[in-house]
Structure 1
Amino acid sequence: MLVIQPDVKGARLERALKDRIRGETRFDAKSRLLYSTDASLYQLLPVGVVIPRDAEDVMAAVRLAAENGVPVLPRGGGTALAGQTVGPALVLDFGKYMNRVIDIDPDRRRAVVQPGVRLDRLNRAAAPHGLTFGPDPATIRQCCLGGMIGNNSCGARSLVYGKTGDHVHTLDCVLHDGAAAHFGSVARDAVPTMAGTEGELARRVLGILEPERERILSRYPKVPRRVSGYNFDAMLEAPDVNLAHMIVGSEGTLATVVQAELGLVPVPPHRGLVLLSFRERFTSMDATPFILDEPGLTALEIVDSRVMQGARELLDFRATAALASPDALGVLFCEFSGQTADEVAERAHDFARRAPGLPGNPTAGVFLSARDQTAAWALRQAATGLLYRTTAHRDIKPQEFVEDTGIAPEKLGAYTRRFEEIVSRNGTSLGFFGHAGQGCLHIRVDLNLKRGEDVERMQRIAHEVAELVVEFGGSLSGEHGDGLSRSEFLPIMFGPEIMDLHRQVKRAFDPEGRMNPGKIVPPVQRMSENLRFGDDYRAHPPQTWFDYTNDGGDFAVAVEKCNGMGVCRKVDAGTMCPSFMVTLEEQHSTRGRANLLREAMQGSLPGMRSKEVLEALDLCLACKACKTECPVGVDMARYKSEFLAQHHREHGVDRKAQFFGRIHDVAKAASIAPGFANFGNRMMSGMIKRMGGIDPRREMPSFAPEPFRRWFKRRPAAPADGKPTVILLDDTFNGFFGTEPLKATVTVLERAGFQVKLPQRQVCCGRAAISKGLLDHARDLQTDLLNTLVPEVENGAWIVGVEPSCILTLRDELPDLVRDGRTKALAAASVTLEEFLAALPDWKPGRLEGRAVVHGHCHQKSLVGMEPTRAVLSKVEGLEFEILDSGCCGMAGSFGYEEGHYDVSKACGERVLFPAVRNSAPADYVVASGFSCRHQIADFCDGRKSVSTPELLALAK
């Protein structure tokens, strides 16, 4: 538990900052806790946080920090794996405001960016010009260019593109005292007369390094991946002098980058992928040197069997994992590029034919479609999280403290075998993935750092691996930097003389040692200190409503699955995390919420009473995207429900939760006289909104003039043709409000020859109650539903639903909330309409001329995926359709209706969905499977009508 105490220097600095900067200043306990961790093993409480708006803010903040004796720590995405972005300093978070691509110059192949811009966004800006940024780490969607510069990041295609430093031309920086500096290339003979601070620094650095040129060049390892230490070798070997290349890889210990001019490279016109599956773990590394000379090879990556095991357990990657052999213990990703598709295909197939002759006799698969390649690379990028899914014990995690060594590729096989010997001798195991073609593997060692003996074991393994790296002539870090994990061992790698040069260069840039202290340059802490989960870590989870057996055992362990890698901080693709995508606030990312929940359970925040956690969870839309888009499967929607239920236990249930959480009861009562209920709603709209906590700008949906169940009972039933009975789940939203989707479902199923029945009595899945933390009420509803539907399932019926969040609750939350053995059979028989129809081999919906844009419901995308929808719509003759990567619509059940959510709700839809709808032709069909999605579209797209999937299918003839 972190003890958060008042800081006199911090309080004085906070007052000064609030008077001087235009950005945001945060010294409260919640903000300090949010920034006390990153993607590494470590936790250190910062003095405070500044979110600068521009370079002037950065200069003012650094200058004021210097005047108050407070260190400074720049931070982008917080995805560092060695602890670079945590420390007792003033954290500068560039991700919210200083995140722009300022300029793209396609003629010079240059880009000018701010440090908080995500790499994915830079590449999107460069793509229309046929350009991209060469280095492409797995964190491409959430990492920031400032962090890549700080770490000298690389990536899968570093075989041809090298490291970030190879593409940095100039850097605008803020120095230790708040002064600005511009670093770029200068002829060596011009350095003696060079003006300003830049000239003074260049002369001092060269004065330190030149006398030791021979020692430096002999001691620095000659391997493709060396990012440990400062870039002395690059400074001495380059024809010109460019201090920007000294800043690269310095982890914020020399200066703070506020703008960068970077080089871009052409995107190869065509790419192909060959996957090699090896039946022995390390022969894949033995084969690596024999592949490197293949013509057109642009990437040579590896994942082991544990990564593939994790992929098979996750919906998003199950099909992709099947691209490799099921018995593979190591898989090499061999990418070939070329100017024509035929050229790439010829290279890939020729290589695949010869591949069985490589060491280990691998089997080869060739994948030339963009879809297969994208899926395969997505799996590789998710390897860190997938590995986390494969440890058997709840507290044993694949730890990253020695996961980044760089070795000559030809030595990789021997090196990894020796590495495993060290790990085995210390009584544990490992998993790996990474850049085989560059000799840089990310090897994770399985440890439980909540045990003191494993903390010492980690320290021991780290020291032995450091000595092994030096023996093999390698680098302690090949990509992820030194930080708190590896700085301790740099003297083993470089020796005392080179480390003294590091100290001298550090003093030249930072005389008082305030720039991200404790990283790279001694004195540094032991790598086993200041751990997030150390032997003194204690969590106190409450007694829970949900069963967390499948999440590791209890609520605390479920929350602790978050490893900080920050996939939830992506902003341009997928659905996770909707509120972060529009606020860019750490507390509104899945990672931020998980961190606050963890702090609440270990006592740094006041448990389930915590208003800080409640505030962070308020903008969680419970979209479920994190359950599958997060590689480790953090299910924040469920955790939010659990926390709210615990919070209600302490404080009681507020009116808003009661109103929306019991919407089934409200709707059922209103269905007796829906016309009268609608009249009452109109007459007392203002009062109802105030009582229910509804935003006054919102209009609640009206009740259907005739509830669906009443319509169904009075209609003539269609004859069945002997096919199994289908029980149609008439959910609350489509059953009492907008009934057309259910009516259309009856039409579609009866056309297909099925007998459609309803549950014997009106039941509710409890979705709304779960969302509001009314878990006792939800459990009662689900028990009734279980008792009603299980007899139907036992008689062979399918349970089919059209509202994704409702039908999928039967598969997701219900088994862990009700804890009844019968739930397994019910879950297996419960499907969305799209799943049901996609599984019918002979079903033909007919013909429908036209075009459709399709928006998937968040729960549908998370728990089922959009493939069933794609399969169903593909069977409609004459229909052209596009499934949007539209994220969350922003309504999310009742979220968009509630006070305080209107702006975020609208902004979520404005990201992709609303523009796509507005840009569609008036005659185009807009398809949205969710009831709330359709209302959100109507509210913000000028009343544009959208239809559900069954309504579209019913139109086909």
Structure 2
Amino acid sequence: MTGRPGDASRVSHRPASARELLDVLGRTAPGLDVETDVGRRAQYAYDASNYRVPPLAVSFPRSAGDVRAVVRACHELGIPVTARGGGTSMAGNAVGPGVVLDFSRHMRRVLDLDPRTRTARVEAGVVLDDLRALAAREGLTFGPDPSSHSRCTLGGMIGNDACGNRSVRHGRTSAHVESLEIVTADGVLAYAERGGLRAADPADGERIARLEKDLRRLVEENLAPIRTELGRIPRQVSGYQLQHLLPERGFDVPRALVGTEGTCVLVTGATVGLVPQPSATALLVLGYDDVVAAAEDVPEILNWSPTAVEGMDEAIVGTMRARRGPGSVTGLPDGRAWLYVELDGDGGDGGAPDVTAAVAARARDLLDVLRSRGRLVAGRVVESDAERRSLWRVREDGAGLAARLVDGGESWPGWEDAAVEPANLAAYLRDFRALLAAHRLGGVLYGHFGAGCVHVRIDFDWSTDGGRAAARRFLREAATLVTGHGGTLSGEHGDGRARGELLEVMYGRRMLELFAAVKRVFDPEGLLNPGVIVAPAPLDADLALDTPSGARAWPTLTLFPQDSDGFAGAVRRCVGVGRCRSSAGGVMCPSYRATRDERDSTRGRARVLQEMLRGETVTDGWRSREVRDALDLCLSCKACSTDCPTGVDMATYKAEFLHRHYRGRPRPRAHYSLGWLPAAARVATLAAGPVNALLRGPAGRLLTRLGGIAPQRRLPAFAPRKALRAALAATPPGAREPEAVLFIDSFTAAFRPGVAAATSRVLAAAGVPAAPQAGLCCGLTWISTGQLAVARRVMERTVARLDASSSGPHATLPIVVPEPSCAAALAHDLPRLLGTEAAERVARRVHTLTAALDELAAAGWEPPPLPGRVVLQTHCHEYAQFPGHRPRDLLRRFGVREVAEAEGCCGLAGNFGFEAQHYDTSMAVADLALRPKLDELRDGVVVADGFGCATQVEHLGADRGIAALHLAELLDPGPETQTDTTTERKAGS
């Protein structure tokens, strides 16, 4: 974009190689963590925006000294530098062509927290939720709370001047920054403080003093435009916030640097202010016919001093319910658009109950006022904590849910961050929706309505020349529209690559020249995050969807019916929102939680797969070692298919990749020893005694090593074939016609026949007598090892026996599967791999035991008395594929007083934890949730329906004799001749 103000600051950098960079750093900073491999560059070529810029290298600094070393080397070689926190930028602020500095890997410490001054000193990579957890111990919190709070970093929030759901009360990040630790473009460490800049090393004092002097001069020469054009509305984030440098603002340099998006300095640490947590809050949920009607009521709501006023439309709610089940969104009143209004109160002189009651009463009064205004369809005060959590999760997952909707349509950021005065919001939304209609575009609307900030993802076509031209025309008109309403292009995400070009619509030439001059003062060579804000890159440059003309088709065995272009569309579901990088909440992504490495996140894996499809950085397709390595620590837990807002299903992608990668080639040994376990088990159970004796001796250790199995694992004992026959013979006699089929999976038949008998008795007692069906297999072990051709043959036999089109007497009955992973394979993978109507029919009939008791049990049925406390390990596949049926909820309904659920993967995950090279990761994952729950065990029982989960429990609890019951064994009503195995397990637990 030539001829624009500020173009003089764009430098034509001489190309420097990664080898040159590594040589310089090897001399100046030996031991610094810098990576240049193809897989790593692929992971960091993207953030959560539309853009793709493969870096030259990625560095993981451990200190400000490391940052200085990298910046000095880049300054010497003319290599650009981009700072990155959680990589959740939706405007393209966190990708760059040179070195990407990932602060989130190591620089994540809270250095000091002072409750007296209500401040905290943090490193740039601290995750917001980690800071808030520490502050909560002192009754404090950090005010701004973006929806990405579980993975965004303080450095990233400072870079974008982030706000969040409660910005009505707490405003932007800039309002809470006291001072910054910074590294300049030439590698000088300094401190930005209210009143000026200070060098960390006196030897650099003259350099920093000169920088401050130049900055003061620019402000003095431009007082009028700074006072009239900047800081006009609360959410004016676009451009540089130079109003903080005005004399009447005390030349507040740290607050002026907030929102500069890493284009002026690199922030390595900060001192931030904290605010008290409220004593009580109330959530009011309001339903409207549309978002414009909702916006009309915002000015009245603001009169009630809310902490949050959040809005969203029906598309997001519909997507959440479709992806996670009808029960994933509870408590919404009627309407097609909703506002969440949160009110709070402090303790005052009364007690907490008084405050809670007063806040709730105020919420009811506000509801009465809004009803009287006539726009409200329905509204309610949400009393239940569970409903509050459910509702806030819908709003927090808005960006991801809006990206891929129920009909499979895709939408994109680019104009997701405009803001106006709240009083102008309804008028702006009315005109904006008309603009969308005029351009024949659709948008999913949500956002911080109380602050006038609207997030919208639009169904742009970024993949074609015509689509990009149409998007450019729309964005120009949208920029004119929002500025005509007195608004700003960005309200919290920053300008980045998405809106930098449009700043000329919002600001006059003099202000743009001032921004460029400020950039030159800090970064004369233009090395810090080039192409952003000053001398911006075209908004349609470096688009991720601008695919190369030679892109190949990618046929797969697995079907992806909800993705219009198959595997490529499925992989493209990852838009980078980064929920997989959360350290708590949900189950995704266990390997990332164990390693804290982007490579091991769902997002990191998806990005490498996307690069494989492009064929530019990852060039060897299905044979790629980089993709294989990125997928290596994926536990195939399937949690991402539920927890990821866009529905990424990495377990399925991994299975397909492994199938193609090893096609016609030798596989890892564990693929044979564990992948073919069901077939081996059918033979082993014929002579279980001798086989078990063999496996317990020296020959077993040799076989373990040859099979690629971790030597630390004790191989589970096979049950003799007659044990299964005896178990089934002991099930209740068929006094009634069967109302279900009991699918006795390979794991249950080979290792836990008593579970089959217990399941049969529980179902009979619950009024659902079941006909046992043994000798069939779901194909799970072949799927998880990528042997999909074998899996399909196994599944075809299973469907032929179970399908309604067969002549069997029970061919339309519900199918109850004791093993959750096998149930998930039948319900999810079966139709994906076979693609037949018969497979679909079978899949729709599949239930876990929990789901069967929820849906099929006779009204009023109750199990025998249960213990007061249960430690529960829910199988990841059950969590992912049967989201409306939680064993936790069932146990509570049956009267268990305390259900201590290990919220996360057990770490064994089928074959994964048995494989020698994965044992350490398996144990690290177990340490996250399961081991702590077992360590706390003093009484009660452990319940784990999954055979792998139960095996991991036994492994972890071996020294204490802890073992796990299947839910069926816990609920088993008898008979009096209960199996010895069940009795021993109950006693051991």
TM-score exceeds 0.5: yes
Query: Does residue 926 in structure 1 map to residue 942 in structure 2?
Result: yes
| Mean Cα deviation higher: 476-485 or 684-693 | 684-693
> Mapping of 1:207-356 within 5 angstroms?
207-220=217-230, 222-236=232-246, 239-295=249-305, 297-315=306-324, 318-325=326-333, 328-339=335-346, 340-356=355-371
On the 8 A contact 2:731/2:757 being kept in 1, the answer is: no
Rate the CA distance shift 1:826–1:104 in 2: closer, same or farther, 3 A: same
Paired AA for residue 852 in structure 1: V
Aligned equivalent of 1:520, options 530, 533, 543:
533
Paired AA for residue 324 in structure 1: L
Task: Tell me, in whole angstroms, the C-alpha distance in 1 between the residues paired with 2:491 and 2:469.
Answer: 24
Aligned equivalent of 2:910, options 893, 898, 923:
893
Could you report, residue by residue, the CA deviation over 1:620-655 in whole angstroms, capped at 9, with x for unpaired residues? 100001101011101110111111111122534443
Task: Tell me, in whole angstroms, the C-alpha distance in 2 between the residues paired with 1:79 and 1:186.
Answer: 32
Counterpart position of 1:940: 956
On the 8 A contact 1:9/1:68 being kept in 2, the answer is: no
Rate the CA distance shift 1:221–1:426 in 2: closer, same or farther, 3 A: farther
Paired AA for residue 358 in structure 1: R
> Mapping of 1:301-450 within 5 angstroms?
301-315=310-324, 318-325=326-333, 328-339=335-346, 340-358=355-373, 360-390=375-405, 392=407, 397-450=410-463
State the identity %. 35
Counterpart position of 2:7: none
On the 8 A contact 1:890/1:896 being kept in 2, the answer is: yes
Query: Does residue 686 in structure 1 map to residue 701 in structure 2?
Result: yes
| Mean Cα deviation higher: 478-487 or 860-869 | 860-869
TM-score by length of 1: 0.94
Task: Tell me, in whole angstroms, the C-alpha distance in 1 between the residues paired with 2:782 and 2:646.
Answer: 26
Task: Tell me, in whole angstroms, the C-alpha distance in 2 between the residues paired with 1:642 and 1:202.
Answer: 57
Query: Does residue 916 in structure 1 map to residue 928 in structure 2?
Result: no
Rate the CA distance shift 1:702–1:537 in 2: closer, same or farther, 3 A: farther
Task: Tell me, in whole angstroms, the C-alpha distance in 1 between the residues paired with 2:98 and 2:437.
Answer: 38
Paired AA for residue 56 in structure 2: V
Aligned equivalent of 2:25, options 12, 17, 21:
17
Aligned equivalent of 1:594, options 606, 626, 640:
606
On the 8 A contact 2:727/2:754 being kept in 1, the answer is: no
1:720 Cα deviation after fit: 4.6
On the 8 A contact 1:719/1:755 being kept in 2, the answer is: no
Query: Does residue 584 in structure 1 map to residue 584 in structure 2?
Result: no
> Mapping of 1:729-768 within 5 angstroms?
729-759=743-773, 761-768=774-781
On the 8 A contact 1:355/1:364 being kept in 2, the answer is: no
Task: Tell me, in whole angstroms, the C-alpha distance in 2 between the residues paired with 1:362 and 1:532.
Answer: 41
Give the secondary-structure state (helix, strand or coil) at the position aligned to 2:861.
coil
Query: Does residue 139 in structure 1 map to residue 139 in structure 2?
Result: no
Query: Does residue 776 in structure 1 map to residue 795 in structure 2?
Result: no
1:69 Cα deviation after fit: 1.4
On the 8 A contact 1:136/1:157 being kept in 2, the answer is: yes
Counterpart position of 1:3: none
Could you report, residue by residue, the CA deviation over 1:594-638 in whole angstroms, capped at 9, with x for unpaired residues? 111121122122111111101111111000011010111011101
Could you report, residue by residue, the CA deviation over 1:440-472 in whole angstroms, capped at 9, with x for unpaired residues? 101222122112111011111111111122211
Rate the CA distance shift 1:546–1:223 in 2: closer, same or farther, 3 A: same
Query: Does residue 640 in structure 1 map to residue 645 in structure 2?
Result: no
**CA RMSD after TM alignment:** 2.3
Unaligned runs of 5+ in 1: 1-5
Could you report, residue by residue, the CA deviation over 1:277-311 in whole angstroms, capped at 9, with x for unpaired residues? 1113421122222211024x111111012212212
Could you report, residue by residue, the CA deviation over 1:824-875 in whole angstroms, capped at 9, with x for unpaired residues? 3322221111111123231111213431121211011111237541342124
Task: Tell me, in whole angstroms, the C-alpha distance in 2 between the residues paired with 1:321 and 1:928.
Answer: 27
Give the secondary-structure state (helix, strand or coil) at the position aligned to 2:458.
strand
Paired AA for residue 823 in structure 1: A
Could you report, residue by residue, the CA deviation over 1:49-102 in whole angstroms, capped at 9, with x for unpaired residues? 111122211111111111111111111111101111111121111111111222
Could you report, residue by residue, the CA deviation over 1:668-697 in whole angstroms, capped at 9, with x for unpaired residues? 110000011112212312321222111222
Task: Tell me, in whole angstroms, the C-alpha distance in 1 between the residues paired with 2:734 and 2:898.
Answer: 32
Task: Tell me, in whole angstroms, the C-alpha distance in 2 between the residues paired with 1:418 and 1:745.
Answer: 60
Query: Does residue 847 in structure 1 map to residue 855 in structure 2?
Result: no
On the 8 A contact 1:169/1:184 being kept in 2, the answer is: yes
On the 8 A contact 2:867/2:941 being kept in 1, the answer is: no
1:41 Cα deviation after fit: 0.5
Task: Tell me, in whole angstroms, the C-alpha distance in 1 between the residues paired with 2:247 and 2:315.
Answer: 41
Query: Does residue 487 in structure 1 map to residue 500 in structure 2?
Result: yes
Rate the CA distance shift 1:675–1:231 in 2: closer, same or farther, 3 A: same
Task: Tell me, in whole angstroms, the C-alpha distance in 2 between the residues paired with 1:682 and 1:766.
Answer: 27
Aligned length: 940
Aligned equivalent of 2:849, options 816, 824, 833:
833
Counterpart position of 1:728: 742
On the 8 A contact 1:181/1:197 being kept in 2, the answer is: no
Unaligned runs of 5+ in 2: 1-13, 347-354, 976-989
Counterpart position of 2:986: none
| Mean Cα deviation higher: 471-480 or 266-275 | 266-275
Query: Does residue 884 in structure 1 map to residue 901 in structure 2?
Result: yes
Paired AA for residue 953 in structure 1: L
Rate the CA distance shift 1:227–1:669 in 2: closer, same or farther, 3 A: same
Rate the CA distance shift 1:263–1:793 in 2: closer, same or farther, 3 A: farther
Paired AA for residue 148 in structure 1: M
On the 8 A contact 2:244/2:253 being kept in 1, the answer is: no
Paired AA for residue 834 in structure 1: T
Could you report, residue by residue, the CA deviation over 1:386-408 in whole angstroms, capped at 9, with x for unpaired residues? 1123375x6x6322111111101
Rate the CA distance shift 1:807–1:682 in 2: closer, same or farther, 3 A: same
Counterpart position of 2:979: none
Give the secondary-structure state (helix, strand or coil) at the position aligned to 2:686.
coil
Give the secondary-structure state (helix, strand or coil) at the position aligned to 1:900.
helix
Aligned equivalent of 2:211, options 170, 195, 201:
201
1:242 Cα deviation after fit: 2.8
Task: Tell me, in whole angstroms, the C-alpha distance in 2 between the residues paired with 1:527 and 1:832.
Answer: 49
Rate the CA distance shift 1:403–1:126 in 2: closer, same or farther, 3 A: same
Could you report, residue by residue, the CA deviation over 1:700-736 in whole angstroms, capped at 9, with x for unpaired residues? 21212456522234x3442455364332221222221
On the 8 A contact 1:590/1:626 being kept in 2, the answer is: yes
On the 8 A contact 1:488/1:524 being kept in 2, the answer is: yes
On the 8 A contact 1:253/1:519 being kept in 2, the answer is: yes
Task: Tell me, in whole angstroms, the C-alpha distance in 2 between the residues paired with 1:956 and 1:502.
Answer: 78
Give the secondary-structure state (helix, strand or coil) at the position aligned to 2:45.
coil
Query: Does residue 31 in structure 1 map to residue 43 in structure 2?
Result: no
Paired AA for residue 692 in structure 1: G
Task: Tell me, in whole angstroms, the C-alpha distance in 2 between the residues paired with 1:160 and 1:925.
Answer: 46
Task: Tell me, in whole angstroms, the C-alpha distance in 1 between the residues paired with 2:864 and 2:730.
Answer: 23
Task: Tell me, in whole angstroms, the C-alpha distance in 1 between the residues paired with 2:851 and 2:76.
Answer: 64
Give the secondary-structure state (helix, strand or coil) at the position aligned to 2:513.
helix
Counterpart position of 2:52: 43
> Mapping of 1:487-636 within 5 angstroms?
487-521=500-534, 523-534=535-546, 536=548, 539-604=551-616, 605=618, 606-636=620-650
Rate the CA distance shift 1:419–1:650 in 2: closer, same or farther, 3 A: farther
On the 8 A contact 2:48/2:576 being kept in 1, the answer is: yes
Task: Tell me, in whole angstroms, the C-alpha distance in 2 between the residues paired with 1:187 and 1:615.
Answer: 48
Give the secondary-structure state (helix, strand or coil) at the position aligned to 1:649.
coil
Rate the CA distance shift 1:538–1:278 in 2: closer, same or farther, 3 A: farther
Paired AA for residue 603 in structure 1: G
Rate the CA distance shift 1:170–1:723 in 2: closer, same or farther, 3 A: farther
